[in-house]
Amino acid sequence: MSRVLNFGSLNYDHVYEMDHFTEPKETQSSLSYIRNFGGKGLNQSIALAKAGVEVYHAGKVGSDGQDFIDYLNKYKVDTTYLKKDDNEATGHAIIEICKGQNRIILHGGANRSIDEKQIDEVLKHFSKDDVLLLQNEISSMSYLIDKAHEKGMTIAFNTAPMDKSVFSYPLEKVDIFIVNEIEGAGLAQAKGDDIDEVIEGLRTKFPDKKIILTVGEKGSYFIEKEQIIHQDVYKAEAVDTTAAGDTFTGFFLASYLKDGDVRKALDLAAKASSITVQGKGAAQSIPEIGDL
């Protein structure tokens, strides 16, 4: 099975449980506070590792980031290519949780100081047999995609968080897109509330790509050329949806890379993310494959 290089973000998640999402001009006390390990990159590495994949996490933390290395190593994620940058603070996220939903403010910090030199050093150790997984929380994305494509690596891109920078990347070099309905609508430049329009838009814009689209309660889709496969959700009482998408990405990819069976991969990913939403926090609520 391919190795996965996840070049991605690591954030301290400052999580505040709230009575309601804070309004403009309002000051509101939180009901509780906890600091967790997070970042879409870290969460996805943990999900991949828990799903049984050989995963290397490349990225950057500040001088206070040793805890991240220890945490990833605890779950057997290889951190050889994770660097400490004494001049930058580790990335962080301010997360409000209310009635199972979240709202997230990001500060990129060290995640945004990944440069071409670091990318060249890391990619030296990988080849066309390996998979590069990306999210949209680090710097130098275009360079990374270009260089990995030159090597012939398979590139999977979870376009979260979706913003206009995504359109400046060489998206034609991506092999697999993993998006939720907002990201999918952004990418397809379609209306997010009409799933058929999003699917059609994605298919038209990226006719030769594999696309995984998650649509909350409406389940998920695998789209490739004329083929569309749908997967229902596993119903669960959501306590905290943080990292549900990351769990889906990690478990889908792990299962798909193992045997190429899309239906099995969608089913496993749906099951795993239904467990993540039942626990508080990001990486810590991701299940082990043996628990599914």
Cα separation, 22 vs 104, in Å, equals 12
The footprint of ligand RIB on residues 91-120 (CB under 6 A) is: 93, 104, 106
The position carrying tokens 């359109």 is 167
* Helix H or strand E segment including 35: strand 32-38
* Cβ-proximal residue to ligand RIB, closest one: 38
Strand pairing class (101-107; 91-98)? antiparallel
Strand pairing class (82-85; 55-62)? parallel
> Binding of ligand RIB at residue 13 (CB under 6 A)?
yes
* Residue 239 and residue 34 in contact, taking contact as beta carbons nearer than 8 Å: no
Q: Which stretch binds ligand RIB (CB under 6 A): 75-83, 149-157, 238-246, 262-270?
A: 238-246
Out of 6, 8, 18, 38, point to the residue binding ligand RIB (CB under 6 A): 38
Cα dihedral 9, 14, 19, 21 sign: negative
* Helix H or strand E segment including 69: helix 66-74
Out of 138, 243, 253, 286, point to the residue binding ligand RIB (CB under 6 A): 243
Could you tell me which residues come within 8 angstroms of residue 5 by beta carbon, excluding any fewer than 6 positions away? 55, 56, 58, 81, 122, 126, 130, 131, 132, 133, 153
> Binding of ligand RIB at residue 183 (CB under 6 A)?
no
> Binding of ligand RIB at residue 89 (CB under 6 A)?
no
Q: Based on CB atoms, which residue is closest to ligand RIB, 201 or 281?
A: 281
Cα separation, 208 vs 230, in Å, equals 19
Cα separation, 78 vs 57, in Å, equals 6
Q: Which stretch binds ligand RIB (CB under 6 A): 121-129, 172-180, 206-214, 239-247?
A: 239-247
> Binding of ligand RIB at residue 53 (CB under 6 A)?
no
Q: Which stretch binds ligand RIB (CB under 6 A): 6-14, 45-53, 151-159, 271-279?
A: 6-14
What minimum distance in Å lies between the beta carbon of 259 and ligand RIB?
A: 27
Out of 6, 43, 180, 274, point to the residue binding ligand RIB (CB under 6 A): 43
* Residue 237 and residue 152 in contact, taking contact as beta carbons nearer than 8 Å: no
Question: What is the CB-side half-sphere exposure of residue 7 using CA atoms within 13 A?
Answer: 30
Out of 153, 269, 282, 286, point to the residue binding ligand RIB (CB under 6 A): 282
Q: Interface mask (CB under 6 A) for ligand RIB, residues 185-224, using x and -?
A: ----------------------------------------
The footprint of ligand RIB (CB under 6 A) covers: 9, 11, 13, 38-40, 43, 93, 104, 106, 137, 242-243, 245-246, 282
